[in-house]
Amino acid sequence: MRKIKKINGYLVVKFNARELREWEGTALGEYGVIDAELYTGHLEIDRSAMEYDGAKTLEEAVELARGLESEEELGAAGAVQGPAQDGGEGEEHQGEGHEEGSEPSAEDRGSL
């Protein structure tokens, strides 16, 4: 297997004739895509780490690699954010505290 291109942390690799013969009948294409950090250069090891291994053309493999980067970006950008912590008080109670020197409200004056 030979490295052809590196796209956003993924390698597009071309399988050699020997590998294609040895893996004949296993849906192995001409090209594959693997995370560059996991690449060893040995198909026996790398095949299980391949994101894709059935691409018939270089163009197809490049598009598959580009699609992987898009999936990662979407995952990070589309993260769900939870509600902000407000110390346990609901909106209706926020801002009703009395500061020193402020006038009591009519409700407060009635209870005095």
Determine which of 38-47, 91-100, 102-111 has the lowest per-residue pLDDT on average. 91-100
Residues in the chain: 112
> Would you state the pLDDT for residue 20?
96
> Would you state the pLDDT for residue 81?
54
Render pLDDT for 23-55 as a digit per residue (tens, 0 to 9): 999 999 999 999 999 999 999 999 999 999 999
Lookup: tokens for 77: 């950008």
If one compares 95 and 41, the residue with the highest pLDDT of the two is: 41
Average confidence (pLDDT) over 2-24: 95
The answer, yes or no, to whether residue 65 has pLDDT greater than 90, is: yes
Average confidence (pLDDT) over 69-76: 62
Task: Categorize the per-residue pLDDT at 96 as very low, low, confident or very high, splitting at 50, 70 and 90.
Answer: low
The residue type at 70: S
- At CA 54, angle to CA 38 and CA 62, rounded to 5? 70
- Report the distance separating Cα 88 and Cα 85, nearest Å: 7
pTM of the predicted structure, to 2 decimals: 0.62
Please provide the average confidence, as pLDDT, over all residues in the chain: 80
